[in-house]
Amino acid sequence: MIPPSIDGHGLPPGGPVFTMAGVARGMRDLLPVSVSIVIFGVAFGIAAGSAGLHAWIAVLMSGVVFAGASQFAALDMWQEPVPWVPLMLAVFAINARHLPLGASLYSWCGRLPVLQRYGAMVLLTDANWALSTIAVERGERDVGHIFGGGLTLWLSWTIGTGLGVAIPGITLADVQRYGLDLIFVTFFACTLVGLRRGRIDDLPWLVAGVVALGSVWLLPPNWHVLVGGLAGGVAGMLQRGERS
């Protein structure tokens, strides 16, 4: 779903800023989430080892790519020779959800200098987007918050991957047996509940879910993420137009 504008009726007084104090607040606010990210990273590290990736390549992938869902999708397609074009299309389909996420933040950070604006977005994820959105509703105007949250998650993801590739004798079957592959799904479900503003969100969320589920059967793998998000966003815009 394309998220609504995060500032509601406008930014907190004074407009947006980017400071180290905001970065520190973002890092602190995402610390509770980092535990699940570390475990998710461990699961990826184990899966990468099972897929035949060298340990250093798996850690490098997590540090540079920093996109859990698309990294798992890449593992599913990893073979010799590597199907680069289908792999890149799958990664794009999954990560394209960051386009509407970033667009929803424009009213918050659009007036910042270009380097600060794009610097804040370099570590954008679903998790720090969600918690920074909640922080803005509490009055947060420091865009450093979203960068600091992303920094905490990046460190957690990379460290978790390193732990995963270093643990001997554990396979992908063990990850599934103990439910480690469900941790991030559970986190997103809990985050969604926390973001619900009331009945106004129900229709766009329902449309996004139904379209995404239908796309799983009708479209190539991973495109349901983008299509479901766009459908939910269109439903939200139509709903807002009817109310205005």
Please tell me the distance from the alpha carbon of residue 244 to that of residue 20, in angstroms, as a whole number: 39
Supply the DSSP string of 28-78, one letter for each residue.
HHTHHHHHHHHHHHHHHHHHHHHTT--HHHHHHHHHHT--HHHHHHHHHT-
pLDDT in tens, 7-60: 443 444 568 899 999 999 999 999 988 988 898 899 899 888 888 889 999 999
Ordered by start, the domain boundaries in the chain are 20-195, 198-244
pLDDT bin (cut points 50, 70, 90) of residue 175 is: low
Furthest-apart CA pair in the chain: how many Å? Answer: 59
- Given a contact cutoff of 8 angstroms between Cβ atoms, the answer to whether 146 and 129 are in contact is yes
Task: Check whether 156 has a pLDDT greater than 70.
Answer: yes
pLDDT in tens, 198-221: 777 778 878 888 888 888 888 877
Please tell me the distance from the alpha carbon of residue 76 to that of residue 53, in angstroms, as a whole number: 12
What is the per-residue pLDDT for 2?
Answer: 36
Task: Check whether 195 has a pLDDT greater than 70.
Answer: no
- Given a contact cutoff of 8 angstroms between Cβ atoms, the answer to whether 135 and 149 are in contact is no
Question: What are the tokens at 240?
Answer: 């807002």
pTM for this prediction: 0.77
Residue type, 122: V
